[in-house]
Amino acid sequence: MDLSAARHAFVTGGASGIGLGIADALARHGISVTIADINEESLDAVIGSRGSGYLGVALDVRDREAWKVAKARAETAFGSVDILVNNAGIGFNGCDVVDMDPATFDMLIAIDLIGVFNGVACFGSEMRARGGAHIVNTASVMGLISGTGGRSAYSAAKSAVVALSEGMRSEMEPHNVGVSVLCPGLVTSNLDQNTATLGGHVRENIQGKDIDHGRGTRAHGMDPATAGDQVARGIAHNLPYIITHPHYLGNIETRMDAIRASVEVTSSPS
């Protein structure tokens, strides 16, 4: 997508972390940005520190009626949305899936997966009719690599976002709408805090840990501004996958190796 032709971006979970990094990166391209977030205090602080090219709207991505209200406010301010970024989400709380409170599992799926669908359902058909638009759905590198203990439910939701985005890309491509799935690694954010607020405690022995055995906490992750610039480049080049941390390609290969090895066993005569 030619970013110079885009006028309006709508970014969920945009008041902090990756979402704010994306919002600011797109704004640097001259795009007006609507930031949607459930945390109204953070939202007010961000909008108060930005210029007139930003609008803040309170949004719980689980609430479909609230999506309609947010869309109307955004379009009244800046016109039709050219770039939709479904970024809002919570993280893993460190519980093995068999020990997980079903209500916590339901909440994680509702925010990380159904919240993405709700954004697509709200904006997608109009974007398809107009063309010349782009959608970014935030998954995680955990949606691409082999499962890791304490992250099963989270990985399930993020894997579903990857699959949803891949299917959407083929559906939207004939209508000149690009679809990218963002698969970030460790980026500085308050994701653990949001997870604890919405989904219960985050176990200390897993909180903020990278997949590579404690590479660091979220406070020591990639600068959100760097991730935001990567997303802007991904949109400009209509990339199917936006992967922030190249070192995870090794973890993705490990998964593929396991798949290949399994196929060799099942396809061989016993």
CB of 172 closer than 8 Å to CB of 126: no
Displacement of CA 56 from its chain's centroid (Å): 18
Q: Is 132 left (phi over 0), alpha (psi -120 to 50) or beta?
A: left
- At 167, list the tokens: 């299917």
- At 158, list the tokens: 């993020």
Single out the catalytic residue among 54, 154, 241, 248.
154
* Rounded CA separation 256/110 (Å): 29
Give the phi and the psi of residue 58 in degrees, each rounded to 5: -75, 135
| Catalytic annotation present for 54 | no
Q: Which residues make Cβ contacts (< 8 Å) with residue 95, sequence separation at least 6?
A: 101, 104, 150, 203
How far does the chain reach from its first CA to its final CA, in angstroms?
A: 51
Give the phi and the psi of residue 224 in degrees, each rounded to 5: -55, -30
CB of 144 closer than 8 Å to CB of 162: yes
The label of the residue with tokens 């936006």 reads 242
CB of 137 closer than 8 Å to CB of 86: yes
Q: How many CB atoms lie within 10 A of CB 165?
A: 25
Q: Report the catalytic residues.
A: 154
